[in-house]
Chains A and B, each alone.
Chain A
Amino acid sequence: MLGMIFACTLLPIAGAVLSALAATWLRRGAAGWRARVGWDGALLLLVVAISNLVLVGWPGLPPHDVKFWPPFVAIAGLPVALMASSLGRWPLRIGAFLLLIGAASVVLLVPIYRGESAGTYAKLLSVVIFGWLATRALWSLSARSSSPGASLTALVVVSGASAGAMLLFGTITYAEAVGIIAFAMAVLAVMHWWGGMSRTGGESMVIALTILLPMWWVLGATMSDLPYWTIPLFILAGCSPWLSSLRPFNDMSDAKRILCVAVLALVVVAPALAWGVLESIRQAGHGGSEGY
């Protein structure tokens, strides 16, 4: 029953919000709105949420399996991404983000720490929320210091590497979910490069991705076998656009600068992927089997 209520209310509400924003945008016809409303990040969240629900099926609510939560968190994150640029004052924007990731952390961590003491749970929750906020701060600062193209490129690499790591460390379910994010990012990157959509890859995109990816990192590390040490590498790789703001890269063309950012991001995540390949080979080494 609860699931039906969600199905009948949540998506129409999300659709209504998007429609209202689009109508306002068209009515005012001002370029400023296109700059201020974080439509690209919201679009990413919506596409990823719907794709996830199609992939894993519509769950009962509350979901019995923690992997069903990320699509709902993504939908709840739509307004956070939409007001990413300059809609609302910064305390409101940060507060909304904090509220969202706080709630997400609670629902993602409850199953694995059921039965633990309140103190242990509080410590873990603090670490996750701090890491989540730090990721947003670092990626936002990095994106502001460079071009949207460089930022988008780094985030495509981080998303793809995260999906690859999930697969290498043995969880197809999570790899598919992160793969959807990476695919959507790649599509937006192509739109950016070929369509001249200069706003794509800005603050809204960064916020959308800092809502989506950490959820799967948390699940990968707690529910599966993704090593904890790989998560800082993913976060650092997302900061690689900052490199393009340094003096040696100032004289480079945009294309060369973006290439450098992509290579740097790949180098940063390489240890995680290499370790995953080595582990996979080691575990599959029994009798030459493929593991099944």
Chain B
Amino acid sequence: MSLSTTIARLLALPLLAGGLSSGLSASEFVVDQDHSAAIFEAGHFGVSHVYGRFPEIAGSLKIESDAAKDAFEITVTAATLTTHQEKRDQHLKGPDFFDVKQFPTLSFRSTAVTAIDDKTLEVSGNLTIHGVTKAVSVKVVKVGEGKVMDSYRVGYETKFEIKRSDFGITTVPNAVVGDEVTIIVAVEGIKK
């Protein structure tokens, strides 16, 4: 599914990891923006893919010994979107796509987490893009964990696909910008 799914998976991974790792049991983490990313990939006239990134990410990961009690919440600031092309960025931020003045954030809030294996979580939750909220379920993979400098950190990643039309982003024809958009969310959490 879409970005929300990815985010959900990211959020769910810490929960799963928490259940499997003593270092993460019953811990809360805040997302480290400098080591996190939300990236999207969209088709360009069916010829190639254009990649974009939302540099500003915030959120929290709550990890309990029981993965089912985990909770994940991630918010992306839409106006920080960049594809390194000014005109395209301006258009993407406008009413034809993300409409960032009206819908300043994209977000994911988990509703259920299930451990699939020691590295993978199935995270369900509500993904909100362009003011439209959809229930999604994504697989989130734990990258690693450990003490870094003075803090304990965990890392999770997810990759999923959404249809922009499901979120009301329909002005530009699919032949120009593909309807299917791949989303990658990678977060590093710092233990509180």
Residues of A191-236 whose CB lies within 8 A of B: 219, 222-225
Q: Are B101 and A112 in contact (CB under 8 A)?
A: yes
> Which residues of A sit under 8 angstroms from B170, Cβ to Cβ?
57
Q: Which of B98-138 contact A (CB under 8 A)?
A: 99, 101-102, 130-132
Q: Complex: how many Å from CA A176 to CA B96?
A: 11
A173 and B171 in contact (CB under 8 A), knowing A65-B99, A223-B99, A289-B85?
yes
Question: Which among A111, A172, A280, A292 is the interface contact of B102 at CB below 8 angstroms?
Answer: A111
B95 touches A286 (CB 8 A): no
Q: Quick one: closest B residue to A68, CB to CB?
A: B168
Binary per-residue interface labels of chain B (146-177) against chain A in the complex, 1 for a CB within 8 Å, 0 otherwise: 00000000000000000000001011100011
Write the chain A residue with the least CB distance to B168.
A65
Chain A: minimal CB distance from B165 (Å): 11
Residue contact A170 to B94, C-beta cutoff 8 Å = yes
Cβ contacts under 8 Å, B85 to chain A? 286, 289, 291
- The answer to whether the Cβ of B35 comes within 8 Å of any Cβ in the partner chain is no
Tell whether, in the assembled complex, residue A172 and residue B176 are in contact, meaning their CB atoms are under 8 Å apart: no
Q: Quick one: given A222-B101, A289-B85, A292-B88, are A67 and B131 in contact (CB under 8 Å)?
A: no
A222 to B100 Cα, complex, angstroms: 11
Nearest CB on A from B38, distance (A): 21
Contact across chains for A292 and B95 when beta carbons are under 8 A apart: no
State A280–B176 Cα separation when bound (angstroms). Answer: 19
Contacts of B99 in A (CB 8 A): 65, 223
Q: Which residues of B contact A283 (CB under 8 A)?
A: 86-87, 90
Q: Are A67 and B95 in contact (CB under 8 A)?
A: yes
A112-B101, A283-B86 known; A291-B91 Cβ under 8 A = yes
CA separation between A57 and B165, bound complex, in Å?
Answer: 12
Q: Is A66 an interface residue (CB 8 A)?
A: yes
CB neighbours of A170 from chain B (8 A): 87, 90-91, 94, 96
Q: Give CA–CA (A143, B96) in the complex, Å.
A: 35
Contact status A223-B95, CB under 8 Å: yes
Hey, which chain A residues are within 8 Å of B168, CB to CB? 64-65
Total number of A-B contacts with CB less than 8 angstroms?
64
| Cβ-closest chain B residue relative to A220 | B95
Could you give, for residues 83-99 of chain A, a 1 whenever the CB lies within 8 Å of some chain B CB and a 0 otherwise?
Answer: 00000000000000000
Complex contact B171–A172 (CB within 8 A)? yes
Among B50, B96, B131, which residue has its beta carbon within 8 angstroms of that of A64?
B131
Binary contact track A154-180/B, C-beta < 8 Å → 1, others 0: 000000000000000011111010000
A284 sits at the interface (CB 8 A): yes
Q: A65-B99, A112-B102, A286-B86 are in contact. Are A292 and B94 (CB under 8 A)?
A: no
Question: What's the least CB distance linking A71 to chain B, in Å?
Answer: 15
Residues on B with beta carbons closer than 8 Å to the beta carbon of A171: 94-96
Q: How far is the CA of A224 from the CA of B96 in the complex (A)?
A: 9
A116-131 residues at the B interface, CB under 8 angstroms: none
Say whether A225 contacts B90, CB under 8 Å: yes
Give the docked Cα–Cα distance between A171 and B99 (Å): 10
For chain A, residues 44 to 85, give those with C-beta under 8 angstroms from any C-beta of chain B. 57, 64-67
Q: Select one of A57, A65, A225, A289 contacting B94, CB under 8 A.
A: A225
Contacts of B44 in A (CB 8 A): 292
- Nearest-CB distance from A65 to chain B (Å)? 6
Closest to A64 in B: B131
CA distance A209 to B94 in the complex (A): 25
CA distance A66 to B102 in the complex (A): 8
A193 to B131, CA, bound (A): 45
Query: A292: which of B130, B132, B177 is its contact (CB, 8 Å)?
Result: B177
B95 to chain A, nearest CB (A): 5
User: Which A residues form the contact surface with B (CB < 8 A)?
Assistant: 57, 64-67, 111-112, 170-174, 176, 219, 222-225, 280, 283-284, 286, 289, 291-292
5 tightest Cβ-Cβ pairs between the two chains A and B = A283-B87, A291-B87, A173-B171, A111-B102, A64-B131
